[in-house]
Amino acid sequence: MIEERFDAIVVGAGMAGNAAALTMAKRGMKVLQLERGEYPGSKNVQGAILYADMMEKLVPEFREEAPLERHLIEQRFWMMDDRSHVGMHYRSDDFNEERPNRYTIIRAQFDKWFSSKVREAGVTLLCETTVTELVRGERERIVGVRTDRRDGEIHADVVVLAEGVNGLLGTRAGLRARPRPDNVALAVKEMHFLPRETIEARFNLRGDEGVVIEAAGTISRGMTGMGFIYANKECISLGIGCLVADFQRTSQTPYGLLDQFKRHPSVAPLIAGSEVKEYSAHLIPEGGYKSIPQLYGEGWVVVGDAAQLNNAVHREGSNLAMTSGRIAAEAIGLVKSRGEPMSAANLSIYKKMLDDSFVIKDLKKYKDLPPLMHTQSQNFFLTYPQLISKAMQNFVRVDGTPKAEKEKATLKSFVRARSWTGLFGDACRFARAWR
């Protein structure tokens, strides 16, 4: 056993773990952080978008130091069928501001930098160390961790589980359930490299301006899923994800979907001639509010993806991760400053503080949307995109048909596909879940 005793052990060096470790170290706590990868970021996969507001709360000067790709000035939503897309694009020069709101980043590079800030603050980081087990003391209290290093038992007052969506420790210790196939999506992603000027020309960008595309429709072949295309400086992150339960049910392959997405006539010209340099995959928590597990207990808290804190509607995860990490650390700091033990009763303040933040408020707002999207996937990801695409084509194609007839045909196609009650029901269900 390692004799040295720590105030806190943080398992994982992703967004949540780094935020927690940094916040505790800044408060003078003695923190040990354990990461199973060769370096921080080597096991982390994200699109990725960085949300400045939440990052600023951790490292105010990040804009000057961090490896950022492009600041986002445009967001495109594409509803796709096999040969077309109907788009809603929002682009604004307002986003060319002194302190931009969102950036694209490359996680392995960003996390390395983030970790350097964490270590500067005094955290001891041990990489290439897999935590295998939580150690229990009296009355089932978590008192430390066991790692795969020799003499790998280490003790601390509290353990912060920032172990990601696949976190084994919490599950093995019975603190939370394993993610269910209908609560997580599998996303696959490729990094496509192109000259900077080519990316800027293809996406209509100047300098470090950036754009992201979120796409849904027939690309997921009736499964609950989405595609994404993010412009970085010299590469494009491109990927697609669907619920694991849907992959299981349909026998579709993730790489088949990805290749089909890449060959779509709206996508192929954007990546033509690119060199692929990495292929990755990752699970995304999609269960929302109803899938959040117990967040604290005797000597432990759980943060980030491990706690299923992901807003599937807005595609936000890393900001929920870093905010939950920071809030958990502040809660721990509070308990410590009072000189009280890290008991469940005392740590419950973490949940109260998180409930008051946007993290839980946003997830609560959309609590009914994940189940709706999961049960109605055929309609929302196949039928409607096809209908809307046909309606748009009918609207813009000039062929001598009187407009009144065109409108009638469009309306008829919707009613034929879903019936009046179906259309009305879908609209009501969607509105209710969104509200």
Partner 1 sequence: MNVESLVRVEDKLYYNRYLVDIGHPHVKVRAHTTPSPQLLALLKACPARCYELNDDGQVEITVDGCIECGTCRVIAEPTGDIEWSHPRGGYGVQFKFG
- Helix residue spans in 97-168 (DSSP H): 107-120
Q: Is 116 in the site for partner 1 (CB under 8 A)?
A: no
The smaller minimum CB distance to partner 1, of residues 247 and 414, is found at 247
**Quick one: which segment of 173-181, 202-210, 312-320, 394-402 binds partner 1 (CB under 8 A)?**
173-181
CA distance 274 to 88: 26
Which listed residue (53, 65, 234, 259) binds partner 1 by CB under 8 A? 259
Q: Is 255 in the site for partner 1 (CB under 8 A)?
A: yes
Judged by CB under 8 A, how many residues of this single chain contact partner 1? Answer: 57
Which listed residue (178, 352, 364, 412) binds partner 1 by CB under 8 A? 178
Q: Is 106 in the site for partner 1 (CB under 8 A)?
A: yes
Nearest to 184 by CA among 86, 283, 288: 283
Which listed residue (225, 227, 254, 287) binds partner 1 by CB under 8 A? 254
CB of 429 to partner 1, least distance (A): 27
Q: Is 190 in the site for partner 1 (CB under 8 A)?
A: yes
- Helix residue spans in 42-150 (DSSP H): 52-56, 62-65, 107-120
CA distance 132 to 221: 39
Which listed residue (147, 324, 346, 376) binds partner 1 by CB under 8 A? 147
Q: Is 282 in the site for partner 1 (CB under 8 A)?
A: yes
CB of 230 to partner 1, least distance (A): 12
Q: Is 83 in the site for partner 1 (CB under 8 A)?
A: no
**Quick one: which segment of 16-24, 40-48, 370-378, 381-389 binds partner 1 (CB under 8 A)?**
40-48
Nearest to 100 by CA among 152, 145, 45, 62: 62
Integer angstrom CA distances of residue 353 from 59, 152, 285, 303, 329: 21, 33, 22, 13, 11
Which amino acid, one-letter code, is at 198?
T
CA distance 131 to 12: 9
Q: Is 115 in the site for partner 1 (CB under 8 A)?
A: no
Which listed residue (22, 59, 66, 108) binds partner 1 by CB under 8 A? 108
CA distance 191 to 104: 13
In this structure, how many other beta carbons lie within 10 angstroms of the beta carbon of residue 333?
Answer: 18
CA distance 38 to 15: 17
CA distance 56 to 41: 20
Which listed residue (101, 130, 343, 393) binds partner 1 by CB under 8 A? 130
CB 350 within 8 Å of CB 295: yes
**Quick one: which segment of 116-124, 199-207, 276-284, 335-343 binds partner 1 (CB under 8 A)?**
276-284
CB of 225 to partner 1, least distance (A): 13
Integer angstrom CA distances of residue 144 from 5, 32, 73, 306: 9, 11, 45, 18
Q: Is 265 in the site for partner 1 (CB under 8 A)?
A: no
**Quick one: which segment of 32-40, 58-66, 329-337, 385-393 binds partner 1 (CB under 8 A)?**
32-40
Using CB under 8 A, which residues numbered 216 to 245 contact partner 1? 235, 244
Which listed residue (13, 15, 48, 72) binds partner 1 by CB under 8 A? 48
Q: Is 153 in the site for partner 1 (CB under 8 A)?
A: no
Using CB under 8 A, which residues numbered 337 to 366 contact partner 1? none
Q: Is 382 in the site for partner 1 (CB under 8 A)?
A: no
CA distance 213 to 222: 20
Give phi and psi for 330, each to the nearest 5: -65, -40
CB of 283 to partner 1, least distance (A): 5
CA distance 177 to 308: 11
The smaller minimum CB distance to partner 1, of residues 130 and 357, is found at 130
Which listed residue (278, 330, 368, 426) binds partner 1 by CB under 8 A? 278
Q: Which H or E run contains 276?
A: strand 275-285
Q: Are strands 184-193 and 153-161 parallel, antiparallel or unpaired?
A: unpaired
Residues that bind partner 1 (CB under 8 A): 36-39, 41-46, 48, 106-109, 111, 127-130, 132, 147-149, 165-166, 168, 178-181, 184, 186, 188, 190-191, 235, 244, 247-248, 251-256, 258-260, 276-283
